[in-house]
Amino acid sequence: MVFGKIRESIKEFTGLAVADKEAVEKLVKNIQRDLIRADVDIALVKDLSESIKEKALEEDLPKGLSRKEHVINIVYEELSGILGERKAEIDIKPKNILMIGLFGAGKTTTTAKLADFYRKRGLKTGLIAADVHRPAAHEQLQQNAEKADAEFYGEKGNDDAAEIVRNGVKALSDCDIKIVDSAGRDSMNKELEKELKDIEKALKPDETLLVVPADIGQSAREQAETFNKAVGIDGVVVTKMDSSAKGGGALSSCAASDAEIKFIGTGEGIKDLKVYDPEDFVSELLGVPDLSSLLEKARESIDEEQAKKFMEGEFTLQDFYEQMEQMTEMGGFDKILDKLPIGGKIPDNVMDMQEKQIGKYRNIMDSMTQEEMEEPKKIDSSRARRIAEGSGTEKKEVRQMIKQYRQAKNMMNKFSGKNMRRGNMKKMMRQLGF
């Protein structure tokens, strides 16, 4: 895990009675150890450590901050400094994107994730398979394009990558975003450089993104500089951040090379891609609740009309299905509640609903009339039997769905309208963008 022990060290420091010199020095020593384990350059670690100690022990205490708060703020600022100066700026507009990188970086998967990212923001996306060297690269990208709901173009058997790209650009002319998945090599060589330059001429990319895996650590800097010199890059995507212990080295090395980190891959799923924000990353690293990431997911999944219904306490069967589907995409109610400062417990049978059951519920609701969708209390025994027969389910499953809908509605009512005005819940939800 990236910087796995730093949060523990911060927690230990904040639990001390006094934040004296000995405590600060111990904290710095612990941070040094974890940064080195994360493959951050030793010289960089040394400079950061000295800066933390100097500011923490010699600077005047800012008004309004305790000594502990002052030290934590210094650690936050110093770590943010080595991991990038600012949040990546992502233009949501039509463009051509070229994905480059060596073998094993995760280009093909990342290409699909990027397509999904832009599709969620209202742009039609198309993927072009220009990796003519790796076996099954064509099929893999085609399958991933389906997952990302993106158009696909490829020419299986054609070994001229530039020609495929030229034809692909024409075929996908109605797509706002065209993303090319290029081939990799074990290292940058003249053959790869020529192929990428030929693809550039065919695509005329607005953006060229280098994909590097977190597990290469400090070598990320060398790759960024090599590719930038050969073909030019506009940003970096760091993948495999969910499993690599060397992620700190990869992030800090890219930042040191002046290559802007645009995205980080946080898992294997199509949705596991985040716009890179060093401040958010460090906040999460130090144990500060990452509400901005939750907000980003919530805005992608819940539109304004549904949010308004949520706030006003209106919750129909149709809303129930849509919210269940969206919460599943966001990781489930239990994962969301872990990030929110609210109490209470959602019934286990609601939390445990998975995609298969949601599909069954969709079939049940498709067999219902509009009147029954709007007023499920009208569903008596005979109606439940008819709905079950029409949906290929059992009568008890129809009843179970209605029961779970009512439980969910009761939960929503606790967080809506007049109930939210009694405390800070409404203010908190507004801060989250609802």
Q: State the CATH number of the domain containing residue 25.
A: 1.20.120.140
Strand order across the beta sheet in which 261-265 lies: 151-153, 125-130, 177-182, 95-100, 207-213, 235-239, 261-265, 273-275
Residue 179, beta-bridge partner list:
97, 127
Same domain, 67 and 100: no
Between CA 26 and CA 347 the distance in angstroms is 44
Indicate the number of domains in the chain. Answer: 3
On whether both 267 and 344 belong to a single domain, the answer is no
Is the residue at 88 inside a domain?
no
pLDDT band for 19, please (50, 70, 90 cuts).
confident
Assess whether 144 and 57 both reside in one domain: no
Q: Is the pLDDT of residue 269 over 70?
A: yes
For the stretch 315-338, pLDDT in tens is 677 777 766 666 555 554 455 445
* Residue 332, domain CATH: 1.10.260.30
Judge whether 1 lies within some domain.
Answer: no
Same domain? For 314 and 203 the reply is no
Terminal C-alpha separation, the chain: 32
Of the candidates 40, 331, 98, 137, the one whose C-alpha atom is nearest the C-alpha of residue 237 is 98
Domain residues for the domain of 52 are 6-82
What CATH number does the domain containing 209 carry? 3.40.50.300
pLDDT band at 243 (very low <50, low <70, confident <90, very high): confident
Please write the tens of the pLDDT for every residue from 62-81.
Answer: 776 778 888 888 888 888 88
Task: Give the pLDDT confidence of 168-205 residue by residue, as tens digits.
Answer: 999 999 999 999 999 988 888 889 999 999 999 999 99
Going by C-alpha positions, the residue among 104, 382, 56 that lies closest to residue 216 is: 104
> Does residue 293 register a pLDDT over 50?
no
* Cα torsion angle, 156, 160, 165, 167, sign: negative
- Dihedral of the CA atoms 131, 133, 138, 144 (nearest 10)? -60
Look at residue 347 and tell me whether its pLDDT is greater than 70: no
Helix (H) or strand (E) holding 238, with range, is: strand 235-239
State the Cα–Cα distance between residues 2 and 95, nearest whole angstrom.
33
CA distance 389 to 364: 9
Residue 234 token pair: 């506009």
| Residue that finishes a domain, picked among 232, 253, 287 | 287
Mark residue 419 as left, alpha or beta (left: phi above 0; alpha: psi -120 to 50; beta: remaining). alpha
Q: Label the pairing between strands 235-239 and 207-213.
A: parallel
